[in-house]
Amino acid sequence: MHIDILKVFCDLSDLRSFSRTAEKHLLSQSAVSQQLAQLELTHKCQLINRKKRPIELTKAGQLLYQASKDILDRYEQLKTDLNALSKSSSSRVNVAAIFSIGMHTLPEYVKKFMVSYPDVNVHIEYFSASRIYELVLSGNVDIGLVAVPKRDKRLEVYDFEDEPLVMVCSPKHPFSHDQQVDIHRLQFEKFIAFEKSVPTRAWIDSILERYNVAVRSVMEFDNIETIKRAVEINSGISILPQTAVLPELSSGTIKAIPFSNEKFVRTTGIILRKGKIIGQAGRYFIELLRKKRET
């Protein structure tokens, strides 16, 4: 059964006229009749009541009409997806990441990717976690990278890197000379926190609650970079991913002290929209992102 025959049958059902259907498809009325007869012969049933004017579908015809519309819609979607696949294989991979991951974690993966796909541009933009979920779900980006990923039935979520969490402070802070710090020593310390809308805030709060530690939140920000600036001027201490403070550690403007209690980490994740067509280059980039985690 050919797609073109189903198109003729659907148009015949909608237009309810052999002549108008023939005109639309640049066919003769006889050719339309022959295609209808072929369908009826194939399915061994009458599809149209020819005695009625205008013509009407039989019950069997109505069933075939609904099924044919579904088949044609899915076929058009298939063509669209195949076209998108072809384009995405040769153009670029669109990635949305929170700033800390995009700046400090992704570069090594991009370098590895460019060895295999030197002509494909990995386009990285930085957004808040909530905005990244919106962009991935709308299909405007191929890959999202967030901290503390949430599960959603519309998304495929894969573990990325576990980032070690450390206590950070100014070189002027009394903790700055310690090799390790017990988390209980943070009790009632001035603390630079993430805003409550940031997933990492709830993650760090849960760690502090588990150890029954209460800090004094003196400032709240929605991003790591601003928190680091506040820590540098000794406005308070904070808990941040170690990878995010490597530049400040190198320059000596921030001290990072590991915890003696246990190795605290912040989970990060890769989020993809279920059913989204991603080209060969994009799939390879996802494999790279997952490979380190799986090994």
DSSP string over 152-196: -TTEEEEEEEEEEEEEEE-TTSGGGG-S-B-GGGGTT-EEEEE-T
pTM passes above 0.75: no
Q: Which domains does the chain have, with CATH numbers?
A: 3-88 (1.10.10.10), 92-160+268-294 (3.40.190.10), 163-267 (3.40.190.10)
Regions of the chain short of the pLDDT cut 50: 89, 295
Per-residue pLDDT tens over the stretch 101-125:
999 899 999 999 999 888 888 999 9
Give per-residue burial for 188-209: e unless 16+ CB within 10 Å, then b: ebbbbbbeeebbbbebbeebbe
Condensed to tens digits (0 to 9), the pLDDT of residues 214-255 reads 999 999 999 999 999 999 999 999 999 999 999 999 999 999
